[in-house]
Amino acid sequence: MRPPTLIALAGLLSIVALVRPQSDRHNQITLPRSVVFFSSNTVDVLSDADAMEGLKSFVEANAIAVADRAACALGDTAEVDPGIGVYDTSAEQIVLLRGAWDAETTSYLAVLLGRYENQEWAFWFTADPAGKEHLWLLHSAASATEIAQQIRAAGLPPASEMLSPRGNVVVFVGGETAAPKIAKLAAALHATVTSEPGSSGRLGSDVASGPEGVRAAIPLYDAAIARFERSRHVALSNKLWTREWRDATSRTCTARK
């Protein structure tokens, strides 16, 4: 995932649009306690059409399957959906993992998946009543194409469209200063809005980008993974390079609803 993207600590934002043809307000996506954002894309620039095509690829199916296995191995209920990261003039396929983990577990999952996908950055959000950021959910019946257009029109990239069978939802993580843009986007999409406070986090290299950025991020990822696994007595990193994960394309505990 290219920096800066999805979540940054200094007011940068992430938007995720969960899209299906029609909205059902009685079956809306509920506010998750924790969100992990990551990408299966390793190509710097893709068009919207290329990113949509990437959703059909093995690497995207594998990314969803590995996120499923990581979350399920921790014994927690989780949901995983594919999606599109929207930038000013480009896009990429992404994955959104949602659950109810504490901050340490959420960051661990984000870093583990960023390491697995050879990404420059790992990003996450955790709900917290004392947090200075917010997670906003905007429910809309707009199409994926229209949502992408309105995200760009509102000046919100980098952002993401996430495709789910449960409804059209824009998920935004950012500070209160983003509220006017959220209001503009909500009006354009005729969306209903819910939110909760929390904190976002990221880990990666600030000194390089592209392949050099990935190489610089790896020792940071490995150190964070090792600290968590020592303290929580888990060892999912042992699965990173196994055929069990590398060949996976199916879900275990995160069937789409």
**Tell me: the pLDDT tens digits for 58-113?**
999 999 999 999 999 997 789 998 888 888 898 899 999 999 999 999 999 999 99
Mean pLDDT for all residues in the chain: 85
**Domain containing residue 40:** 14-246
Tokens matching residue 255: 């069937």
pLDDT greater at residue 114 or residue 136: 114
Q: Are 152 and 86 in contact (CB under 8 A)?
A: yes
Total structural domains within the chain = 1
pLDDT, average across residues 227-245: 97
**Does residue 14 have a pLDDT over 50?**
no
pLDDT, average across residues 25-30: 56
**Does residue 207 have a pLDDT over 80?**
yes
Give CA–CA dist 80/78, Å, rounded. Answer: 7
pLDDT band per the 50, 70, 90 thresholds, residue 6: very low
pLDDT band per the 50, 70, 90 thresholds, residue 29: low
Within a domain: residue 8?
no
Q: What percent of the chain has pLDDT over 70?
A: 85
45-54 as b/e: b if 16+ CB within 10 A: ebebeebbeb
Within a domain: residue 9?
no
Within a domain: residue 4?
no
**Does residue 37 have a pLDDT over 90?**
yes
Within a domain: residue 5?
no
Within a domain: residue 2?
no
Which DSSP helix (H) or strand (E) runs through 92? strand 91-99
Give CA–CA dist 156/71, Å, rounded. Answer: 29
Give CA–CA dist 163/17, Å, rounded. Answer: 7
Within a domain: residue 7?
no
Give CA–CA dist 126/240, Å, rounded. Answer: 24
Determine the pLDDT at residue 160: 73
Contact partners, residue 146, CB within 8 Å, separation at least 6: 189
Residue whose structure tokens are 């690497």: 59
Within a domain: residue 254?
no
Give CA–CA dist 236/123, Å, rounded. Answer: 18
Determine the pLDDT at residue 174: 86
**Does residue 229 have a pLDDT over 60?**
yes
Angle 210-232/103-116 helices, nearest 10 degrees?
A: 140
pLDDT band per the 50, 70, 90 thresholds, residue 2: low
Tokens matching residue 50: 């290329």
Within a domain: residue 253?
no
